[in-house]
Structure 1
Amino acid sequence: MSVLACIHAAILLASCRLLHCQETFDFPHSDFGTVADGSLTINSTVLLNDGTSIPLFGLGVYRSQPGEETEDAVRWALQYGYRHVDTASRYRNEESVGRAVMDSGISREEIFITTKIFNDDHGYEKTLAAGRASLAKLGTGYIDLLLMHAPGEQTVSTWQAMIQLKEEGVCRSVGVSNFGVHHLEELHKATGVTPSVNQIEVSPYLQRRDIVDYCQAHGIAVEGYSPLTKGVKLDDPMLVKIAAKYPGKTTAHVLIRWSVQQRYITIPKSAKKERIQANIDVFDFNLDEEDMAELETLEEYLLTGWDPTVDEWKP
């Protein structure tokens, strides 16, 4: 190839990348009203601090087995109206998620995909390689949101690499998961770049007010995983009493509805068709102010797993 041809190709590539970056911000977004005004739907989105929008509600695929189980779960979710899927390299099912998304017949631009960099891949060069590898496994053209799975010993250099991956177009937004306030402050102090999202475990039994308040004050969207407490609290008499007020609703619906009414991006996990369908039945009722107030009293620092916001990662 001649020098002139090489220059022409480079200009063309740069133009394509610029167009791709402009499209990054071309997302519709919904404005939320008051907590119980009925405005929330499965199509509601949260506008992130980088100008992109993320669906308020999505499917988590943690511990969904790669292959048929994950593919079926994603396919069912998309059929029922979900437009957000949350995976991670650690889950080993990125390929299955990508296959289901690309085979769905739904425009790629309509589906929001999150994946994560695990701690084994921390460090600048390793993170660059891991982000590109995740995109290759997904096969979806780009990643909508790339998260650092948890803080670790090389958090800053990992974050710097993620910023580079965004600039390259590998992902459209970057954020973190399982970060405490001191971790978030470390990133901002070192780079000046604020994460778009902090994904943490949150429920009425684990409200994380310090982290939530910090995120809301600094324009970081809160994303809550394990909204159903992994089933631990589904028989709580308080939840049973509240659910009884709403015909056809279960304690699981109460927990999910609490999360979305808090405007937390909410990603209940299931690989069962009936539960994936049932979990979206939270947009036709509102928890009233009395019930929301009662749920606020349930805080007991209930962790259903390891808490990286406090305990540093250990290999």
Structure 2
Amino acid sequence: MRETKVIKLNDGVEIPVVGFGTFLIPENGHTYNAVKKALSLGIRHIDTAAAYFNEAEVGEAIKHSNIPREEIFVTSKLWIQDFGYNNAKRAIDTSLKKLGVDYIDLYLIHHPYGDVLGAWEAMEEAKKEGKIRSIGVSNMTPKLWKKYIPLFSTLPSVNQVEYNPYFQQKELRKLLKKDGVHLESWGPLGSGNKELLTDPLINNLAKKYKKNSGQIILKFEIQDGVIVFPKSTHPERIKSNMDIFDFELTENEMKLMRALDKGEGSHDPDAEGVEEMLLSAIDIYV
């Protein structure tokens, strides 16, 4: 098994810094096979969501992995349709049932719209009951962070947002650092951005360290304190995404990588009509 580095969240829960993302992997056997393969290759952090429609196969893969449950870190997320206290309580129990587990390690507010405060209250309660070990948010911009976090009675442990070397979320990270909140990256490899993967600096570092461009990007992100979820259904790519703990970028190389930031991502949670767009695109009760 490859080395799995962990860090401690602000609530004391330890989380592996490299996870396996299951977004857009269909629940037709593909999710089961991909998660089971990822676990066999040393991944110990699986990220899913109610709106990914694949929690059941994630749970089956975990069950059949022959790896003790306590060694696998499972993340799921609450969809917008289930926001509000009573809805969220029901949704948490539904995710537990679909996953076939007694507890979820990390549970996130997927997109911060609607009755976020009611949802958060239900999540805090579920944490106290032992159904969830750690709670957090996702897709919270600095604007949304300032809107909601002062109203929460407890701080999130993480904020899962779009992040890669071309979009480093510098303003947001200052806010998170102040509260001891870790940033998790979805799309850590730029969601297929060819410009990023062929960036001259990244390619030169790949040659120096005898790695590929994706490994250099993931190493930069982890060294910068970010938790990453590279997604792939290809075993060789899954293996290479874990093979990043045998080298370190120098501080000067880290500075050069930080200078790649363009400050723009592919998704703007602050844009008008995002909530409506998401609700019309994904209905988890169809």
Confirm or deny a common fold (TM above 0.5).
yes
CA drift of 1:180 comes to 1.9
Alignment of 1:239-254 (within 5 A): 239-247=202-210, 249-254=211-216
Do the aligned partners of residues 293 and 191 (structure 1) sit closer, same or farther apart at CA in structure 2, a change above 3 Å counting? closer
Determine if contact 1:178/1:201 at 8 Å carries over to the other structure.
yes
CA RMSD after TM alignment: 1.5
Distance 1:113 1:309 in 2: 28
Equivalent residue number for residue 29 of structure 1: none
In the alignment, is residue 44 of structure 1 matched against residue 5 of structure 2? yes
Q: What letter corresponds to residue 161 of structure 2 in structure 1?
A: I
Distance 2:271 2:105 in 1: 28
Equivalent residue in structure 2 for 1:278, among 240, 243, 248? 240
Equivalent residue in structure 1 for 2:117, among 156, 169, 190? 156
Distance 1:265 1:309 in 2: 23
Equivalent residue number for residue 282 of structure 2: none
- Specify every segment of 5 or more residues in structure 2 that has no aligned partner in the other structure, as ranges: 280-286
Equivalent residue in structure 1 for 2:250, among 277, 280, 288? 288
Determine if contact 1:42/1:56 at 8 Å carries over to the other structure.
no
Alignment of 1:172-183 (within 5 A): 172-183=133-144
In the alignment, is residue 257 of structure 1 matched against residue 235 of structure 2? no
Counterpart secondary structure, 1:212: helix
Equivalent residue number for residue 235 of structure 1: 198
Q: What letter corresponds to residue 144 of structure 1 in structure 2?
A: D
In the alignment, is residue 99 of structure 1 matched against residue 63 of structure 2? no
**Percent identity over paired residues:** 37
Do the aligned partners of residues 281 and 219 (structure 1) sit closer, same or farther apart at CA in structure 2, a change above 3 Å counting? same
Distance 1:223 1:262 in 2: 11
Bigger mean CA deviation after superposition, 228-237 or 255-264: 228-237
CA drift of 1:56 comes to 1.1
Counterpart secondary structure, 1:270: coil
CA drift of 1:114 comes to 0.1
Moved over 4 A (4+): 309-312
Tell me the TM-score normalised to structure 2 length.
0.91
Distance 1:190 1:230 in 2: 33
Determine if contact 1:253/1:281 at 8 Å carries over to the other structure.
yes
Tell me the TM-score normalised to structure 1 length.
0.83
Distance 1:156 1:59 in 2: 29
